[in-house]
Structure 1
Amino acid sequence: MISKLVLLATLYVSQFIPTTFFFQALPVFLRQQNMSLDTIGFLGLLVIPSGLKFLWSPFIDRYHLGKLGHYRGWIICFQLLLISTLLISAFLEYQENLTLLLICVFLSCLFSASQDIGTDALAVNLLEPQERGLGNAIQSGGNVLGAVIGGGIMLILLEKVGWRYSLVAMSIFLLLNLIPILLYQEQVTSKSKNLNFFQSYFQPFVSFLSRPKIIPWLLVLLLYMTGESVTSVLIRPLLVDRGLSLTDIGWILGVVSYSVRIVSALIAGVMVMRWGRKQSLIVFGIVAAVATLLYILPAMGIASFSVLYTVCIVVNATQSMAYTAILSAMMDKSDRTTAATDYTIQVSVIFLGGIAATILAGILAQRAGYASTFIVSAVVSLLSVFFITKVYE
């Protein structure tokens, strides 16, 4: 069990570092250059590969890369592509080549999202049902640790040593993080080749979507993390508006808040195993949605460091618990033979909801202010909890 958790932790940490770094740094850079909130909201389009990755997940389920293994081979390939993109980005003068930088950010998101398909499928096959509560806590905690490094430590390093050396350091770290997956020997299960290309591509989608109450469940996924999607984008320009430096933001949102998310994810993993999926989803969903309203305080100008640290810690802790619960529920709804497709469809729905939420939130915040936007996001998240009581089995 320990070896499984260590392997999954390194994989989930790796894929979150670059995207978190870019999405922590870019809103701050753009706001410092007086970009409007609705423009910043459109940064959500750069993560559209995470919303559409279900389109190529059947290929990752069906094919493998030679002797590298099945999901293991895809993971290694995409992480190497991610490292290469980071090294190219390192030598860009981002202020003069913003368009090229945004292309590199998009490619980083594409490779990271594709790696996540393989990692999630590997996790579904590695973890037994009774291991999934703790396994999903490691998954959530690994994502958060990657966010601590990418959105906290790297942001602080960026201000100290500059763009180039920060990205080179990140690339080296990701290269070292390849070691566990290189040492892992995957048990490859042969996939049936009786179906033709089109049948094999569409069959996993048809099978998944024909399950009882799966459409209402996808609606839950679309709305459940709305509060987190909105706050994760808007809190950064809000803190810039309150006069915080890059280092201040890195400590509050990157190091401290995300470290709390790791601890709360582990606590949530234990609670999921004790309470069950449905009760965990309801309780953590309500608490996280209500906690989102605390961001109204800095939006109203109550922004001392003690208030900011307290608010960000509470919001991130509760959101992490809700995220851990939803991951466990998603894994239960994934078949091992089509793990990449089943799990990725659900992840993609969450990301598509997040993209729509961040774009709409940017527009709403520009016109109605931060506080109103946070209230709307909390209401939408609570609506998803109501649906859970009706559709989750």
Structure 2
Amino acid sequence: MSTSPSSTNRKPRRRQAKKDISSPAAKDSMPHLSNGRATSLESIEIQPRTPVTSRASRRGHVAWSPNEESHAEEVELSLLGERERREAASDLTLEEERAYLSQADGKRPFSTRDKHAIVLLIVLYLIQGFPLGLALGSIPFILREHLSYSEIAVFSLCGYPYSLKLLWSPIVDSVFFPSIGRRKSWIIPMQLVIGTIMLAMSYYSEELMSNPGKHLYTLSAAFFSLVFFSATQDIAVDGWALTLLSEENLAFASTCQTIGLNTGYLMSYTVFLALNSEDFAKRWGIPRLSLGTYLFFCAFMSFAVTVWLLFIKEDKESTSEDISIKAVYTTMWQICRLKHVQILLFVHLISKIGWQANDAVTQLKMVEKGLGREDLAMTVLIDFPFQIIGGWLAGKWSRGDKPLRPWIYAFWPRLGLTLLFTLMVYYFPKPPISTGFFVLLVTATIAQSFAGTIQFGGISAFHTRISDPVVGGTYMTLLNTFTNLGGTWPRYFVLKGVDFFSVATCHIKDADVALKAQECVSEHGKAACADLGGDCVTERDGYYIVSAICIIFGVLSVLFFLIPTARKLQAVPVGKWRIYS
């Protein structure tokens, strides 16, 4: 495995592309510009011009179709013009640049290459969704039957690698086997490791889950590893997306991520929870799906996609202008020093606090109050098509003059729906649930996930627009890391806060004794109290206090900071976001 050499005299070489091309001699000696959207850390390639060069090799695409060489010369000439136009528009706002480029280039339909690239990206994101759905969704639900919210908070730490992948993303962007490809050098081994861990866990899952309190740290370490390797794969896939898709369809990279990740996540979350439920299996007369069997299925899928990738060629990219790992961390620091980037990162860190209690606890509370796993699965399965539609609409709406507009508009619906869900938990009816309440639950779930998908697509498209293509992967990973971290870091404190503010007592009838027991907040504690002949009585549920704190903070931050700041950031000229101008 080799690392990229340090880049020197980068700016003079970029300015060389602006030399006068009015004379034929100058045209013959003019170096051509490779893909205006470079992969993660390579700069725009400047190579001696060749009579015929495959478009795929210059843009870093997968070689889906080799029959495009006849148009190579025309593409080479158009690339220079495109870059010249982009440099001329570097001081325009996002809205002005979009209008300028649209007028110059016009609207282009999806090419066959783009369609194949979209399929590939969706499948790769799908594989990531399997371990994430287990670690962040279904496993906490199963653990809730045995552990308190504070113990679940410990397990929730396994999701942190996905929000801290920025720390090792430069290594993924710079170290690779040239014979295999910059991205496949990481994607293939990561999928093999993920599949191997899941395969090993499939043989011990029942033992671990039978007594999760005893094996809490073992479970946390295993899923921490799965999320870590999935995050590493995501770095490579994000960087590959910048060159797989054509310039005019880059906004659909977020759509691929939305569809792929959500599909894999839901399969490992609600679909698995339903099929794992004994009541669901008895109702439909099907075998119960065990955790071990599902882990074996996920391992098989990971291995199968890895084999498929072996037959997909990743075009070799020039490393002549790449920078070393040390230089990448320096570049990352330079990005963070940009004033507008610092403001955007802070926006990401606080933008999701308003609905954190809803995301982390609401569904757990509903299951605790009698919502069956199969009812929860049915709710999310009904919602799934709307998430796909939302992902597509987010990509479409974000292609306009204001890519942050969908992200801004979705704030108030998400906060309003968070309040609605809190009230639904408070007034949750005793089982069986009425049809009217179930319809309200489904409708609110659809609206909430649709608003979340719209926000995700909008902010992802904005990241794609402002990222410096010279350091595309590092720039995108930096922004996406803080986006994920904004939804991860409050979760631990929210779960801890629910137990902290809760007051529960174990009333032992025969002894006429009431014992304040923190364990009464867990199903395991309630069972222990019942063994003593008592009943757990919750005098104060900390969920409502934590939810109220989050909602109040969300309203104030959105009203006085987030929306006004987002509109200002959207109006900043694109050139102000670049470190190599």
Q: TM-score, normalised by structure 1?
A: 0.90
What residue is the counterpart of 2:456 in the other structure?
A: 323
Name which of 298, 301, 304 aligns with 1:170: 298
Map 1:141-152; keep pairs closer than 5 Å: 141-152=259-270
Alpha-carbon deviation of 1:38?
A: 3.4
Alpha-carbon deviation of 1:256?
A: 2.8
**Is the deviation greater in 188-197 or in 133-142?**
188-197
Q: Deviations over 1:33-56 (max 9, x none)?
A: 1x3323323433111111221111
Q: Is the 8 A contact 1:30 1:40 kept in 2?
A: yes
Where 1:76 maps in the other structure, the secondary structure is helix
Alpha-carbon deviation of 1:355?
A: 2.3
Aligned residues: 390
Where 1:244 maps in the other structure, the secondary structure is coil
CA distance in structure 2 between the partners assigned to 1:115 and 1:209 by the alignment: 23
Change (3 A) 1:228 1:90: farther
Q: Deviations over 1:138-195 (max 9, x none)?
A: 2212111112211122222333121211111122223333355333322232335786
- Is the aligned partner of 1:161 residue 2:289? yes
Bigger helix fraction? 1
Q: Is the 8 A contact 2:155 2:216 kept in 1?
A: no
Name which of 195, 199, 213 aligns with 1:83: 195
The structure showing larger relative contact order (alpha-carbon pairs under 8 Å, at least 6 residues apart) is 1
- Is the aligned partner of 1:262 residue 2:388? yes
Change (3 A) 1:219 1:158: same
Where 1:274 maps in the other structure, the secondary structure is coil
Map 1:62-211; keep pairs closer than 5 Å: 62-92=174-204, 93-94=207-208, 95-96=210-211, 97-159=215-277, 160-178=288-306, 180-192=308-320, 198=326, 200-211=327-338
What residue is the counterpart of 1:243 in the other structure?
A: 370
Alpha-carbon deviation of 1:115?
A: 0.5
Q: Deviations over 1:63-82 (max 9, x none)?
A: 11352210122111111111
What residue is the counterpart of 2:352 in the other structure?
A: 225
Q: Is the 8 A contact 1:72 1:186 kept in 2?
A: yes
Amino acid at match of 2:383: S
CA distance in structure 2 between the partners assigned to 1:318 and 1:166 by the alignment: 30
Name which of 486, 493, 496 aligns with 1:353: 486
CA distance in structure 1 between the partners assigned to 2:238 and 2:355 by the alignment: 21
Where 1:262 maps in the other structure, the secondary structure is helix
What residue is the counterpart of 1:387 in the other structure?
A: 565
CA distance in structure 2 between the partners assigned to 1:220 and 1:194 by the alignment: 31
Unpaired stretches in structure 2, ≥5 consecutive residues: 1-113, 278-287, 430-436, 502-540, 573-581
Where 2:333 maps in the other structure, the secondary structure is helix
Where 2:116 maps in the other structure, the secondary structure is helix
Q: Is the 8 A contact 2:369 2:428 kept in 1?
A: no
CA distance in structure 2 between the partners assigned to 1:247 and 1:260 by the alignment: 19
Name which of 355, 361, 364 aligns with 1:234: 361
- Is the aligned partner of 1:3 residue 2:131? no
Q: Is the 8 A contact 1:137 1:324 kept in 2?
A: yes
Change (3 A) 1:329 1:181: farther
Unpaired stretches in structure 1, ≥5 consecutive residues: none
Q: Deviations over 1:252-283 (max 9, x none)?
A: 24x23344222211122212123531322211
**Is the deviation greater in 331-340 or in 97-106?**
331-340
Change (3 A) 1:179 1:337: farther
**Is the deviation greater in 212-221 or in 332-341?**
332-341
**Is the deviation greater in 255-264 or in 79-88?**
255-264
What residue is the counterpart of 2:427 in the other structure?
A: 301
Where 2:319 maps in the other structure, the secondary structure is coil
Map 1:29-48; keep pairs closer than 5 Å: 29-33=142-146, 35-48=147-160
Name which of 547, 550, 561 aligns with 1:374: 547
Q: RMSD over aligned Cα, in angstroms?
A: 2.4
CA distance in structure 1 between the partners assigned to 2:403 and 2:318 by the alignment: 32
Q: Is the 8 A contact 2:171 2:325 kept in 1?
A: no
Where 1:273 maps in the other structure, the secondary structure is coil
CA distance in structure 1 between the partners assigned to 2:315 and 2:337 by the alignment: 29
CA distance in structure 1 between the partners assigned to 2:467 and 2:160 by the alignment: 22
What residue is the counterpart of 1:289 in the other structure?
A: 415
CA distance in structure 1 between the partners assigned to 2:322 and 2:226 by the alignment: 35
Where 2:316 maps in the other structure, the secondary structure is coil
**Is the deviation greater in 358-367 or in 114-123?**
358-367
What percent identity do the matched residue pairs reach?
Answer: 22
Change (3 A) 1:240 1:187: same
Change (3 A) 1:261 1:179: farther
Q: Deviations over 1:270-326 (max 9, x none)?
A: 121235313222112333333332212322123532222222121111111111111
CA distance in structure 1 between the partners assigned to 2:179 and 2:498 by the alignment: 51
CA distance in structure 2 between the partners assigned to 1:148 and 1:259 by the alignment: 12
CA distance in structure 2 between the partners assigned to 1:331 and 1:152 by the alignment: 31
Change (3 A) 1:142 1:22: same
Change (3 A) 1:48 1:223: same
What residue is the counterpart of 1:339 in the other structure?
A: 472
Q: Is the 8 A contact 1:8 1:123 kept in 2?
A: yes
Alpha-carbon deviation of 1:108?
A: 0.4
Q: Is the 8 A contact 1:291 1:318 kept in 2?
A: no
What residue is the counterpart of 2:537 in the other structure?
A: none
Bigger strand fraction? 2
Where 2:179 maps in the other structure, the secondary structure is helix
